Amino acid sequence: MRLKKAVAKMLERERICRVATADGAGRPHVVPVCHVVHGGKIYFATERGSRKIRDLEANPRAAVAVDVYSEEWSHLLGVTVQGTVRLVRAGSEFRALRKRLYDKYPQYPEEAAISERDDVFVEVTPTQVSEWGLS
Q: How many CA atoms are closer than 13 Å to the CA of 102, on its beta-carbon side?
A: 13
Q: For residues 22-42, give the mean pLDDT.
A: 96
% of the chain at pLDDT higher than 90: 96
∠ CA 112-117-120, rounded to 5°: 70
pLDDT at 1 (0 to 100): 86
Is the CB of residue 61 less than 8 Å from the CB of residue 84?
Answer: yes
pLDDT for residue 129 is more than 90? yes
Q: For residues 21-35, give the mean pLDDT.
A: 96
pLDDT digits (tens, 9 = 90+) for 73-109: 989 999 999 999 999 999 999 999 999 999 999 999 9
Quote the distance between the C-alpha of residue 27 and its chain's center: 19
What is the β-pairing status of strands 77-88 and 119-132?
antiparallel
Which domains can be identified in the chain, with CATH numbers? 5-132 (2.30.110.10)
Per residue, what are the HEC states of 29-65?
EEEEECCEEECCEEEEEEECCCHHHHHHHHCCEEEEE
Dihedral pair phi/psi, residue 58, rounded to 5°: -85, -30
pLDDT digits (tens, 9 = 90+) for 40-73: 999 999 999 999 999 999 999 999 999 999 999 9
Q: Specify the pTM.
A: 0.95
